[in-house]
Chain A
Amino acid sequence: MARRTFSIGGVHPNDAKISRDCKIETLPTPPVVYIAVAQHIGAPAKPVVAVGDKVKAGQVIAEPGGFMSAYIHSSVSGTVKSIGPRKDLSGNNQTVVEIAVEGDEWMEGIDRTDTLITEIPQDPKEIIEKIKLGGVVGLGGATFPTHVKLSPPPGKKCEMLIINGCECEPYLTSDFRTLLEKGEQVVIGTAIIKKALGVDKATIAIEDNKPEAIEHITKVVEGLKAKSADYAGIEVLSLMKKYPEGGEKQLIDAVMHRQVKSGGLPIDVGAVVDNVCTALAVYEAVQKNKPLVDNSVTVTGECFPHQANLLVRVGTPLNYIIDYLGGVPENAAKVISGGPMMGKAIANLEAATLKGTGGLLFLTREQTKRMPDSSCIRCGKCADACPMGLEPFLLNRLAKAGNTEALEENAVQDCIMCGCCLYSCPAGIPLLDVISQARGQIMGIMKARAAAAKAAAEAAKAKTE
């Protein structure tokens, strides 16, 4: 059988999963945590604790600041030391709640045992409320509040839940380890999300460079199907290893052979996509009452001597993690939060982890070196690589010429920032650097235009009334 994958573009970087055999290990609790109130897409949460308050692990410390927002819980027990600005990993100030750790006391009602609870609640409302109270956000990178995603706008119906276990970024292995070590929980979480959405079908998609995970999850699904009807309709799908398979749009194309229209949402084509770690967080929030206060982080890189997958409390300072594993290697030139293709270079190692932190990657200067850029040889490799079917060489040229009209026509706004173009360009042209800037500009123009159109429509309406 042909290996299934998305239909446009993509690249095959060496997957370098050198930490794949490292079991998820629990990182000791740091002496202080810094928990940001903006850890998700949407409005930041509003702190509900004051300096000097004693908090327990799992206690709400900030409430949603709007519809598109999420609860934030303390990941430790201790005393609130301060609430105020602190530099994040890019060096920008963010509001954080600083908590000095004392002991490890948890809120009542949180079940921290390993006992598996396979029976799931049947009421979607109850499930979504629990997910909301658990502060669950998407852990695949976008940190979209999960309860919002699970409440599709009226008139839109979900036909397929896709659980993203592709982990197509090189180096990262925390999803893989989660699938292997917490497969049951992931599958139960899948069934819960499926129930919340009221959809019949769910697909757990895993790339075929992780055969152990595919085998294990298939077995788990079969076992649970035999137990309860709640698990009917869950399938495991093996996909060809190709970056960026885990991109939402690409994954929907690979699994459902449907494409989300430009500017549209997955739900428009009947899809909801959640990451495997999100499914685990849903399991914990719904079955165990445990809010999202810890997550697994891959710490890796060829130059890093102690590969690891760690279970880390949210708000743990990055340098605490790194020191635990022996410190920054001398020859590391770049530390990246996330994977090497879409991750962010860290400017400030004193920053703390967020719910969505999935990896810390160390690269040497040699590994991350960019070629000096030469002129475009029109080889078309960037266009072949672009998973959105764009023509990066053209966008680059148009952006340099400042031709906003043509940029919009050639869909610069559809760029998903995957980096395939820059990765592939033999001339070393910084395509994405230029394109992302142009993309921001065009998106701004489009937004302003939409707002103006809306205002005009409203004015016209007011006139006729």
Chain B
Amino acid sequence: MLVSPNPHLHSKTTTAVLMRDVVIALLPAVIVSVVFYGWKELLVLAVSVLSCVLVEYLITRYCLKKASTIGDWSAIVTGILLALNLPTTTPWWVVFIGALVAIGVAKMTFGGLGQNVFNPALVGRVFLLISFPTYMTHWEIPQGLFGVDAISGATPLGVIKEGLMQGASVPELMAQHGYSYSQMLFANIGGSAGEACAIAILVGFIYLVARKVIKPWITLSILGTVAAVSCIFWLANPAQFTDPLFNLLTGGLLLGSCFMATDYVTSPMTTKGGIIFGIGIGFITLMIRYFGSYPEGMSFAILIMNSTVPLLNNWFHQKKYGRA
């Protein structure tokens, strides 16, 4: 007979189950991106996921000489997120370098899943953004389905940033490029593949919350902060500053707030900490967009706030029973 301490039962939710749920939640966004961009996007996705898994496998087996951890699905999540954050035109070897940095540097050197401070996919992306700026700012804007008539151009945020610097006003630029909200919500306006369809991302987010994989507070606090702060700027000067809805729907904000800021490992443990974390991300993102030199800002904002997580975990604790 087995004799071991209580409890004698265990919930069926394992790390792999949770991570697989994240993959499932990402599927709508993945499918939509492939529908819009076709085989090129499929290639980026495949290279990214395979490289992430391979890099993790090789490092755990041959450098750390431990049991491989790829069975926990977390490398797959990183792979998909990295791919969704890259332009479809990214050459395969650049994608591979991104994966190498994401897994090899941002994850494994910290000790693997659970030990890393920064979100691996974002570290990979930002590394590429800095090292290969030409590839990373060269986007395709599909005109039909499956990427048939794609033309290249800048993202809406990039277009507006550029335009503003040349002295145009926001409404003029919006009209000139024909950006409409329904288009941003359902279809594609250029940018990384993961930004292709807001609805697809939200569907995944709702799935994660419903399955209790994540709590909604971090995401809601980012979205709320972005909406509120951009509203103030926009009302003060609509010619200079983009409006709240535009900010919410562009520049990877949804993908970042639903899937990357909510990464367990690199976000605070408590709800209170999570809300502060979200406010920080929302605020920094907007400051970069409005006043910085990068048009998007989301990746940097999340990475900056990642570094505050240990502090937030120190400050905010769970409410304890019977202690004031």
Contact = CB atoms under 8 A, between A and B. Distances in A.
A347 interface: yes
Given A13-B11, A340-B8, A380-B269, A375 B112 contact: yes
B15 A374 contact: yes
Interface in A83-107: 90
Given A367-B9, A377-B114, A390-B320, A426 B14 contact: yes
Interface in A400-436: 410-411, 414, 417-420, 422-424, 426-428, 432-433, 436
Interface residues of B, number: 35
A261 interface: yes
Contacts of A13: 9, 11
Contact of A375 (B11, B115, B269): B115
B6 A371 contact: no
A368 B9 contact: yes
Interface residues of A, number: 66
Nearest to A268: B322
Contacts of B14: 371, 426-428
B309 to A, nearest CB: 9
B321 A417 contact: no
A371 B7 contact: no
B3 interface: yes
A22 interface: no
Contact of A340 (B1, B7, B111, B270): B7
B65 interface: no
Nearest to B69: A374
A387 B322 CA distance: 11
Contacts of B69: 374
B320 A376 contact: no
Interface string B92-115: 000000000000000000011111
A11 B10 CA distance: 11
A261 B323 contact: yes
Interface in B1-27: 1-11, 13-15, 17-18
Contact of A389 (B7, B269, B318): B318
Given A426-B13, A428-B14, A378 B114 contact: yes
Interface in A355-380: 361, 363, 365, 367-371, 374-380
Interface in B94-152: 111-115
B322 to A, nearest CB: 4
* Residue of B3, B264, B318, B321 with most chain A CB atoms under a 10 A cut-off: B321
B265 A377 contact: yes
Contact of A423 (B9, B74, B114, B321): B9
A344 interface: yes
Given A345-B3, A428-B14, A411 B9 contact: no
A23 interface: no
Contact of A8 (B7, B17, B74, B319): B319
Contacts of A414: 320-323
A419 B317 CA distance: 20
Interface in A323-374: 332-336, 340-347, 349, 361, 363, 365, 367-371, 374
A262 interface: yes
B6 A170 contact: no
A249 B112 CA distance: 39
Contacts of A285: none
Contacts of B10: 369-371, 422-423, 428
A448 B13 CA distance: 41
Contacts of A422: 7, 10
B162 interface: no
B321 A253 contact: yes
A260 interface: yes
Nearest to A252: B322
A336 B8 contact: yes
A380 to B, nearest CB: 5
A393 interface: yes
A393 B111 contact: no
A262 B317 CA distance: 17
Contacts of B318: 383, 386, 389-391
Contacts of B5: 345, 432-433, 436
Given A375-B113, A426-B13, A426-B17, A344 B6 contact: yes
Given A374-B15, A377-B15, A249 B8 contact: no
A346 B1 CA distance: 8
Contacts of B17: 426
Given A341-B7, A367-B9, A377-B74, 11 more contacts: A363-B9, A370-B4, A370-B10, A375-B113, A377-B113, A377-B265, A386-B318, A389-B318, A391-B269, A423-B9, A424-B13
